[in-house]
Amino acid sequence: MNFSDSEIVASILTDEGFEACLDLLEADIVLLNTCSIREHAEDRVRKRLHYFRSLKKKKPGLTIGLLGCMAERTKIALMEEEQLLDIIAGPDSYRHLPGLLEQAGSGQKAIDTILSADETYADIHPVRLDSNGVSAYISIMRGCENFCSYCVVPYARGQERSRDPGSVIREAKDLFIQGYREVTLLGQNVNSYQWKEGKETVNFPGLLERMAILDSQLRVRFATSHPKDLSDEVIEIIAKYPNICKAIHLPVQSGSNAVLDKMNRKYTREEYLGRIRAIRNNIPGCAISTDIITGFCGETEEDHQQTLGLMKEAAFDFAFTFKYSERPKTIAAEQFDDNVPAEVKESRLREIIGLQQELSSSSNHRDLGETFEVLIEGESKRSDKQYFGRNSQNKVVVFPKTVQKPGEYVKVTIKRATSATLIGEAI
């Protein structure tokens, strides 16, 4: 989401005559787009700001701005703490950046963190930053109303609002004409996408189908799904169209019903596993990835063991794993004690990571001898004699260069595998 937002910001400023700068040391304006979802992310921002402070000493006229969720969450307090900041703009204030920059240029501090009930940036054509020319993101909705007890997103990004499906389709068409062959639809919870105008209603399965029929050569991915909203209809649409990628990111967070209830996730362990079975039964070979938080308030060793057990039963192909970090003003921060010791969180996280490495390795080794259609994204980082790309299951595939070029499809038979990569040969 943040990367997509940065492309929106770049578009707004480019239209006002600003130019993107590839060298930070040559920049007159530095805008740092931020995330508040975990403490580690905010710590990285503060370290980056410390570096910017040294730049501003060398270049006093440098304008520095903070954008996004951290800007929304901390507002004036952050401006007071970080005296070097000239601009603070929340995620719904990007259209106002030209005016904020003008205000900052006159020597005034500029702040705009007002959340909107209808801003979707639907008419903005994002500037594709650092693009490979093959894959692109399309934001289809903003905000969140799930109010998971550990999460700041509903407070930082406001209520859910969906983008006009016509604007989504037009953006995808334009990208395809430019040579892009894969788009990822983005939202905090894409499954709750719903757009209404008059008597017409378009839900997420409907939008997915519209995307799929644009062109069979355009791959469609999406992120992220909330388990409570992953409907049978969505699963049926994914199964129906070959160009809708067979990979679903379905965050579970915990395998314990007690912890899930405390997290306000609105589903049980059993219901989650029911969704996993529905995916496996209806979309053979579909990859499933997840998010897991360990050490949430009051989590016991038994809760932890239930998470490990669910991981084995679900057999995740990938997982993003984190230690719980308390976020100010969330339900958890106000109502629960962050009482799992740091060393216990660390120990449990190591177990989870170790298990997921085994599961990922097993998943990849099951692909030995299989042939996949791979979309070439570019040269391998390790060798200019190899290409890398991804299959429909979102697995990285590395193989010797072929006559095909980035943005084209190639059939690759898998010869070797690690826990992170498939290695093969084009046929």
- Asked if residue 297 and residue 232 are part of one domain, the reply reads yes
Same domain, 253 and 302: yes
Which of 82, 88, 50, 47 shows the shortest CA–CA distance to 69?
Answer: 88
Within this chain, do residues 265 and 306 fall inside the same structural domain, yes or no? yes
pLDDT tens digits in sequence order for the chain, 427 residues long: 777 889 999 999 999 999 988 888 899 999 999 887 777 778 888 888 888 888 988 898 899 999 988 877 776 666 766 678 999 999 999 999 999 999 998 888 899 988 888 888 988 888 887 779 999 999 999 999 999 999 999 988 899 999 999 999 999 999 999 999 999 999 999 999 999 988 899 999 999 999 999 999 999 999 999 999 999 999 999 999 999 999 999 999 999 999 999 999 999 999 999 999 999 999 999 999 999 999 999 999 999 999 999 999 999 999 999 999 999 889 999 999 999 999 999 999 999 999 999 999 999 999 999 999 999 999 998 899 999 999 999 999 999 999 999 999 999 999 999 999 999 999 9
For the chain, give the longest Cα–Cα distance: 64
Task: Provide the whole-model pTM.
Answer: 0.88
Which CATH number goes with the domain that contains 91? 3.40.50.12160
268: Cβ–Cβ under 8 A, 6 or more apart, which residues?
257, 260
Q: How far is CA 401 from CA 15, 133, 398, 422, in A?
A: 39, 18, 9, 15
Residue 215 belongs to domain spanning: 135-365
**Domain check: are 230 and 334 in the same one?**
yes
- How many residues in the chain? 427
- Same domain? For 153 and 34 the reply is no
Tell me whether residue 124 is in a domain.
Answer: no
Q: How far apart are CA 236 and CA 205, in angstroms?
A: 9
Residues 348 and 203 in one domain: yes
Question: Do both 314 and 376 map to the same domain?
Answer: no
State the CATH number of the domain containing residue 396. Answer: 2.40.50.140
What is the tally of structural domains in the chain?
A: 3
Residue 121 maps to a domain = no
Sign of CA dihedral 399, 404, 405, 406: negative
Please report whether residue 148 resides in a domain.
yes
**Within this chain, do residues 285 and 422 fall inside the same structural domain, yes or no?**
no
